[in-house]
Structure 1
Amino acid sequence: MKSELEQKFVNLLEKHQNIVHKICRMYADTEAQHKDLFQDITVQLWKAYPKFRGDAKFSTWMYRVALNTAITLYRKQKRRVKTQDIADISFKIEADYYDDTTEQHLKLMYAAVKELNDIDKALVFLYLEDKNYAEISETLGISEVNARVKMNRIKKKLRTIINP
């Protein structure tokens, strides 16, 4: 039988699990890495949950813990040799729904974002999630002005990476 704390945590995790999945997509290259990262983030969230005071929204706190976990694990994995699962390379899309131009633009965008440092990746992720600068600054622990300045610099950097 689950404790009240555990039940509350599970309910909140189920409600906001898309946050974790989106972060996993940003930092994981394969389905296996995605699953591992999701599990690692869930463990870290559970370990930190008893200390959650409710000063911020649960989703904001969740972003912060999940991003910190992903960044920490990503830095550790940078030292390893990268491999790619063949199952991730070959996939089938119905011709009616396939737009090669859009697909190429998305690939360029994701490749460019992967070249950014960990904090900049997190900022782009939150920006793409339509978070306002107040929420971004609270999640990343930086000032709102700093978040705006960083985002403008990141946009310029991404343009340079995509269109050298």
Structure 2
Amino acid sequence: MPLEDTGAEFARLLRDHHGIVATVAASYCRDPHDRADLAQEIAVQLWRAWPKYDRSRAFSTWMYRIALNVAISAVRSATLRHRHAVPLDETLHDLADPAPHDAQAEQQVRALHRFIHAQAPLDRALLLLYLDERSHRDIAEILGLSETNVATKISRLRQRIRHEL
């Protein structure tokens, strides 16, 4: 396939799945400038990895894997660590958006956001994928874990959520 065609296909897929990049970036960066920088870095890394994309696999799974790896690496780097990387700000109500007038539900969502913020980067990624209703198989593939490990980690995180919230 000519480079122009692959570039157009990549741009279309990136546009179609822009929510993944936005969600991951917003989950790891509170500051809008940091969030934009991270989203741009994710897009760059996606483009670099594009020639190796296996078209027999779901694009969204591949995209999540790269986006989360970039985000986790960014959080671990000293430059973003001092800027207070945090997950799930108010722009992510598409993951768990209560009715506009339901104060109790809004309070629960804020508590969930605080809980996710307190998690290690891998658990944060796991929760994002779980909240995005990805299958254990997809989560395992994206994060490079076994399905059993994913199921165990999700079970433990759900128990902690029930206990802490």
Q: TM-score, normalised on structure 2?
A: 0.81
Aligned-pair distance for 1:22? 1.2
| Matches of 2:58 and 2:4, distance apart in 1 | 22
Aligned-pair distance for 1:50? 1.2
Aligned to 2:82: 80
| Contact 2:28/2:75 (8 A) holds in 1 | yes
Secondary structure of 1:105 counterpart: helix
For the structure 1 residues 97 and 156, does the alpha-carbon distance in structure 2 shift closer, same or farther, using more than 3 Å as the test?
closer
For the structure 1 residues 48 and 38, does the alpha-carbon distance in structure 2 shift closer, same or farther, using more than 3 Å as the test?
same
Name the stretch that deviates more: 73-82 or 57-66: 73-82
| Contact 1:41/1:69 (8 A) holds in 2 | yes
For the structure 1 residues 143 and 97, does the alpha-carbon distance in structure 2 shift closer, same or farther, using more than 3 Å as the test?
closer
Secondary structure of 1:3 counterpart: helix
| Matches of 2:84 and 2:29, distance apart in 1 | 11
Name the stretch that deviates more: 152-161 or 32-41: 152-161
| Contact 2:21/2:39 (8 A) holds in 1 | yes
Aligned-pair distance for 1:127? 0.7
Q: Could you tell me which amino acid in structure 1 is paired with residue 31 of structure 2? A: T
How large is the RMSD of aligned CA atoms in angstroms? 2.2
| Contact 1:113/1:158 (8 A) holds in 2 | no
Q: Could you tell me which amino acid in structure 2 is paired with residue 67 of structure 1? A: L
For the structure 1 residues 26 and 3, does the alpha-carbon distance in structure 2 shift closer, same or farther, using more than 3 Å as the test?
same
Aligned to 1:150: 153
| Matches of 1:26 and 1:81, distance apart in 2 | 14
Aligned to 1:40: 41
Aligned-pair distance for 1:108? 1.0
| Matches of 2:160 and 2:80, distance apart in 1 | 22
Aligned-pair distance for 1:81? 4.8
What is the number of equivalent residue pairs in this alignment? 150
Give structure 1 stretches of 5+ with no counterpart: 89-95
Q: Could you tell me which amino acid in structure 2 is paired with residue 143 of structure 1? A: S
| Contact 2:24/2:68 (8 A) holds in 1 | yes
Q: Could you tell me which amino acid in structure 2 is paired with residue 115 of structure 1? A: A
Give structure 2 stretches of 5+ with no counterpart: 91-98
Name the stretch that deviates more: 139-148 or 22-31: 22-31
Q: Could you tell me which amino acid in structure 2 is paired with residue 100 of structure 1? A: A
2:102 matched to 1:99? Answer: yes
Q: Could you tell me which amino acid in structure 2 is paired with residue 80 of structure 1? A: H
- Higher Cα Rg, which structure: 1
| Matches of 2:120 and 2:160, distance apart in 1 | 11
| Matches of 2:69 and 2:126, distance apart in 1 | 12
Aligned to 1:63: 64
